Amino acid sequence: MDGPGDADFMRRALELAAVAQARGEVPVGAVLVRDRIIVAEGANRPIEARDPTAHAEVEALRAGGAALGSYRLTDTTLYVTLEPCVMCASAIVHARVRRLVFGAWDPRAGGAGSLLNVLTLPGLNHRVDVFGGVLMEECSAMLSRFFAERR
């Protein structure tokens, strides 16, 4: 395989998560890729934006739509440091993302298999290939440290 792989793109998502953390946000980062090229990025910013939908995934999808000129982000892969919530998983389906790769599982709010699997709900007209656990230790450790410091 030539060019960057899943771990490389997840490392970039971890860098974006660190940016979110530096702003006082929950450290989650997302990278949207097409043909092994980053087309958009996002980091959590609901506090800064005063917007409950400003999750890293939604930020990356919005930027991807602008960059690619369409809300349909076909043939893309979204890399996220944390399993998407139900809202974000639904947005991923509606954006027609082909693959979702995430790091840490989210047993409390995960919408890609932990709490609920939005990506496989019957009746949806699009299916997303999902791969969880990429750089899971690094992604989980960043989140654990963040929440430990808050307690």
Active site residues: 57
Choose among 53, 33, 51: nearest CA to 41.
Answer: 33
d(CA 66, CA 89): 20
Distances (CA, A) of 90 to 16, 26, 40, 58, 145: 22, 20, 19, 10, 28
